[in-house]
Structure 1
Amino acid sequence: MTGPASARHRLLRRVWASLAGHPSFLSAPLETGRAVPLPARTDVASLAWASVAAASLAAATLTGERPITLDPDRIAVSYTSERHLLLNGERPSVWAPLSGFFRSSDGWVRTHGNYPHHATALLRGLGLPPEADAESAAAALRGMPAGVATQAITAAGGLCVGVSHENAAVDATLRRAPVVDLRQGGAALPRLRDSRIAQAPLRGIRVLDLTRVIAGPVATRTLALLGADVLRIDPRALPEPEWQHLDSGHGKRSTLLDLNAADDRGAFDRLLASADVVVTGYRATAMDRLGLGPQRLAAQYPGLIVARLTAWGAEPAVADRRGFDSLVQAASGIAWIESSDGERPGALPAQALDHSAGYLLAAGVMSALRAQETDGGTWIVDVSLRRIAAELLGMPRTPSPEPSDAPLDPAPHLQEFAVDGRSVITTGPALAYDGGPNAYLPPRPWGRDTPNWSELP
């Protein structure tokens, strides 16, 4: 087998081996022979297919089922979910004015200001008042070298990276590590579970979700789809954009806790004591400061599955670095590869690093649960956007993206819910296996639930 199909299968085989999955599952009929319609110079189509396939395989192994053929169109629609989201028939604006590419005096930078506190920090780093607009920021950036702008904005707590060309040596080094790092973090007795059913193989599993934006919520949305009791916890002072939560909050409950406040931390610790899985998506150093680093959790809560998502990795040199998919694309060289004219940076046809990280992290959690039930132990799962970017940069490329033969019709792959009396249209699940769920439960309003586990079995 050669060409794109071989690339996606090679990636799936590597991921599956890192998850200690049984090779027999790789013979399941996941393949249609048709690529996921996400045209790009990089092989985003194979990355997306392999990531969803890994999660589908991991879910299927929990019940002994076999995956069914994955739908390439459904995967593409899921990966571009923000473009299909409708709130009462209207499409929300998903990019803030201070998020995007800006010229610097010696090149380009990519900024991210979707959260108000990040936008304020970005302007502060540029010496601008909080009410300054994108034109003022652009003018300031044009007068600064990219490195100076990045340093000033980062020091102020904002997000900015220089748009760089790829570094083959760095990417080759990153690719020596597994795409999903699954390892045992300590000894523990196996946790006995009820018998699995195909429709909800994670029923009875309790998941604390400390993630935001896309990748982490996609991972925990996948676990909720499979029956887990997922409780998302957000800080009180940092509201989540409504559209963002509704786009990936399916099947989860949502509560607000300040983990630096004694009462709230006590409530959180009680939840943690009876959790099966905790998923974190904040900077590694921030989690360490809260006493929620993987090693600390593994020592305090034997048998826990700790899943960690980072933008740049968890190594000391990058553990305190903020980041999002768009910034990793820019800093890793992807933005220049995807440039349409070689003059202005481009972007992938989806937030593919985020979505892939979500499915791969979910696959890691399910594989860890399977190992914990069989062999015991406390397990740690690590996935980073930068490591996934290195994987994409090592895959085959095309000189120019080829458009799909026919326009993609998203309608068959959408779901409609009523949330707070309003119509919400979102994408349906891409994950698929024989007997498994084929629709999400509704998202709930952000922050409205109590900090307790569900009463449901």
Structure 2
Amino acid sequence: MADTASDTASGISADIASAWTALGGDPALLSRVTTVERPDALAARLPVRQLARACAGACALAAAELAARRAGLAEVPGVRVDDGAVATAFHSERHLRVDGRAPVAFAPLSRFWRTADGWVRTHANYPHHRARLLGALGLSEDASADQAAARLAERPALEVEEAVHGAGGLAVALRTPKEWAATEQAAEVAARPLVEHARLDSAHARVLAPLGPAAPPLLPAAGLRVLDLTRVLAGPVATRTLALLGADVLRVDAPWLPELPDQHADTGFGKRSAALDLRTDRGTFEELLASADVVVTGYRPGALDAFGLSPRALAERRPGVVVAQVSAWGAYGPWGGRRGFDSLVQVATGIAVTEGSAEAPGALPAQALDHGTGYLLAAAVLRALTEQSYDGGGRSVRLALARTAHWLTDGIRPTPATGAPYRGPDTWLAETDGPLGRLRHALPPVSFADGPGDWAAAPVPWGSSPARWW
């Protein structure tokens, strides 16, 4: 596809600057970023394209900064952010093909439903979430979608939300932006920074070897060991990005919670995948932790604390570690312990009404809260490592989909754009052969001079790797 867009200096991009400031970055480095705007990419009523570009661009700049630090470069490599690459990557789970087969979409019980007084949206892609949803509705596990619809139509939306939550399932009532803003959780979310940072200790982690003068690509995360305790999309996108940048990423899941196959394939590039029961094999986990540089968690707040996996507890056993956490609603407020997904956050925060209406709710053109938060989480890890290289010390970073949603709805000012059209994803798609078959996949949107253009390895089958470092 011919590219007639001209590069634009990102020093005038308020959105990339805002993300970079939230990450604690040096404003002077923004001059190293250029952008290619494509106004019709990720078209929406809300400024989704601007959010997506800002998240990917800030991540690329964080990667370039760390690369320069480790390679002893006099100047941070230039970063180029193309709206076409970003839009394609933000649809990565839709563009995936496995031996030509399209991915499995949302399950039949993951959708909007009419209630007695409005709408709810449910998430039941996983068998255990489906069972809890049907149980909360007083239905058997083999109940049909029509039976669920009839039961939901009899009850108020907020009543359904609380009943399903109480059963451990996922259902959220549709709210307008004004209704969400009036909740205590919205106030808690708005009061927090986009990226939360904290020091964990003053210890020095394992010193990473300088990047030598070898031929490109520059891999700023080379030699890093990343313990990936995430599920679904935002966390796996972050760790997939760290794998792109050279990290040894080992994803660890409970044996009884297998990932959805297509989702695993999409977010598994560059990683290995192990199954480990923390209840019976803590010794193996502690061996992994003992030499991990980064731990990334994506479970609901508090869910892993019983296993000693809070940031402070991890730092006590592995001084100098960087701990990154992502959740749906934030680790605070009355919804702090709730499960959640991108689609549900859109419904609760009023985005679904803005993109549609109260009578016909809509959705963002991509799971932009998941993808955007994932790239910001990876950027926060990279920035923490850069800071650590100067003064040592363990660090924690924390993000939430609801806080990213607040930035989208209340923090980004829509601006008119000029540039080349987005004529589709083909330019930013590639095919790779691997253990799962021939995969068509989106190329990474994180791009800087002499950096990697694709992952070094295809995804492996879920749980097929030994629980040990290379």
Task: Give the TM-score category using the shorter length.
Answer: over 0.9
CA contact (8 A) 1:42 1:395 kept: no
Q: Which residue of 1 aligns with 2:81?
A: 70
Instruction: Flag the 1:190–1:424 CA change in 2: closer, same or farther, 3 A.
Output: closer
Deviation at 1:178, TM superposition (A): 1.9
Q: Which residue of 1 aligns with 2:143?
A: 132
Gaps of 5+ in 1: none
**Separation of aligned partners in 1, 2:182 and 2:162:** 24
CA contact (8 A) 2:435 2:459 kept: no
Spell out the pairing of 1:258-297 with structure 2 (5 A cutoff).
258-261=277-280, 264-297=281-314
**Separation of aligned partners in 2, 1:421 and 1:327:** 30
Instruction: Flag the 1:301–1:34 CA change in 2: closer, same or farther, 3 A.
Output: same
Deviation at 1:133, TM superposition (A): 1.6
Corresponding letter in the other structure for 2:258: P
Corresponding letter in the other structure for 2:370: D
**Separation of aligned partners in 2, 1:324 and 1:5:** 34
Q: Which residue of 2 aligns with 1:181?
A: 196
TM-score normalised by the chain length of structure 1: 0.92
**Separation of aligned partners in 2, 1:316 and 1:268:** 31
Q: Which residue of 1 aligns with 2:253?
A: 234
Q: Which residue of 2 aligns with 1:371?
A: 387
Q: Which residue of 2 aligns with 1:90?
A: 101
**Separation of aligned partners in 1, 2:187 and 2:353:** 18
Deviation at 1:191, TM superposition (A): 3.6
Corresponding letter in the other structure for 1:250: F
| SS of residue paired to 1:285 | coil
**Separation of aligned partners in 2, 1:352 and 1:132:** 32
Deviation at 1:406, TM superposition (A): 5.1
Spell out the pairing of 1:171-210 with structure 2 (5 A cutoff).
174-189=189-204, 191-196=206-211, 199-210=218-229
**Structure 1, residues 2-59: CA drift from partner, whole Å, max 9, x if none?**
xx99999323223322322222210123222444700111110110000001100100
**Separation of aligned partners in 2, 1:428 and 1:46:** 19
Instruction: Flag the 1:156–1:174 CA change in 2: closer, same or farther, 3 A.
Output: closer
Deviation at 1:370, TM superposition (A): 1.0
The match for 1:423 among 418, 438, 441 is 438
**Separation of aligned partners in 2, 1:259 and 1:8:** 48
| SS of residue paired to 1:272 | helix
Instruction: Flag the 1:322–1:424 CA change in 2: closer, same or farther, 3 A.
Output: same
Are positions 1:48 and 2:52 aligned together?
yes
CA contact (8 A) 2:57 2:79 kept: no
Larger mean Cα displacement after TM superposition, 47-56 or 313-322: 313-322
CA root-mean-square deviation: 2.4
Q: Which residue of 1 aligns with 2:71?
A: none
Deviation at 1:136, TM superposition (A): 1.1
**Separation of aligned partners in 1, 2:11 and 2:65:** 23
Deviation at 1:249, TM superposition (A): 0.5
Q: Which residue of 2 aligns with 1:142?
A: 153
**Structure 1, residues 387-442: CA drift from partner, whole Å, max 9, x if none?**
0011111145779x99x985632122112122336211111100000110001231
Spell out the pairing of 1:303-318 with structure 2 (5 A cutoff).
303-315=320-332, 317-318=334-335
CA contact (8 A) 1:210 1:279 kept: yes
Deviation at 1:183, TM superposition (A): 1.9
Deviation at 1:189, TM superposition (A): 2.5
Corresponding letter in the other structure for 1:204: G
Corresponding letter in the other structure for 2:440: I
Corresponding letter in the other structure for 2:98: L
**Separation of aligned partners in 2, 1:414 and 1:334:** 29
Corresponding letter in the other structure for 2:434: V
Q: Which residue of 2 aligns with 1:325?
A: 342
**Structure 1, residues 66-124: CA drift from partner, whole Å, max 9, x if none?**
23321111100100112211111111222000101101101100100011110111001
Instruction: Flag the 1:432–1:7 CA change in 2: closer, same or farther, 3 A.
Output: closer
| SS of residue paired to 1:286 | coil
**Separation of aligned partners in 2, 1:8 and 1:103:** 44
Deviation at 1:443, TM superposition (A): 1.2
CA contact (8 A) 1:56 1:67 kept: no
**Separation of aligned partners in 1, 2:286 and 2:414:** 50
Identity %: 46
**Structure 1, residues 248-282: CA drift from partner, whole Å, max 9, x if none?**
11000000011112xx2211111011100000000
Larger mean Cα displacement after TM superposition, 413-422 or 88-97: 413-422
Instruction: Flag the 1:204–1:225 CA change in 2: closer, same or farther, 3 A.
Output: same
The match for 2:426 among 387, 392, 411 is 411
**Separation of aligned partners in 1, 2:294 and 2:464:** 22
**Separation of aligned partners in 1, 2:218 and 2:11:** 31
**Separation of aligned partners in 2, 1:188 and 1:397:** 41
CA contact (8 A) 2:189 2:330 kept: no
Instruction: Flag the 1:105–1:186 CA change in 2: closer, same or farther, 3 A.
Output: same
Larger mean Cα displacement after TM superposition, 416-425 or 354-363: 416-425
CA contact (8 A) 1:36 1:76 kept: no
| SS of residue paired to 2:241 | helix
**Separation of aligned partners in 1, 2:9 and 2:161:** 39
Corresponding letter in the other structure for 1:127: G
Are positions 1:154 and 2:165 aligned together?
yes
Corresponding letter in the other structure for 1:115: Y
Instruction: Flag the 1:194–1:17 CA change in 2: closer, same or farther, 3 A.
Output: same
CA contact (8 A) 1:15 1:178 kept: no
**Separation of aligned partners in 1, 2:143 and 2:12:** 45
**Structure 1, residues 363-407: CA drift from partner, whole Å, max 9, x if none?**
0000111111210111001010010011111145779x99x9856
Instruction: Flag the 1:53–1:172 CA change in 2: closer, same or farther, 3 A.
Output: farther
Instruction: Flag the 1:394–1:273 CA change in 2: closer, same or farther, 3 A.
Output: same
**Separation of aligned partners in 1, 2:149 and 2:92:** 29
**Separation of aligned partners in 2, 1:438 and 1:50:** 19
CA contact (8 A) 2:347 2:353 kept: yes
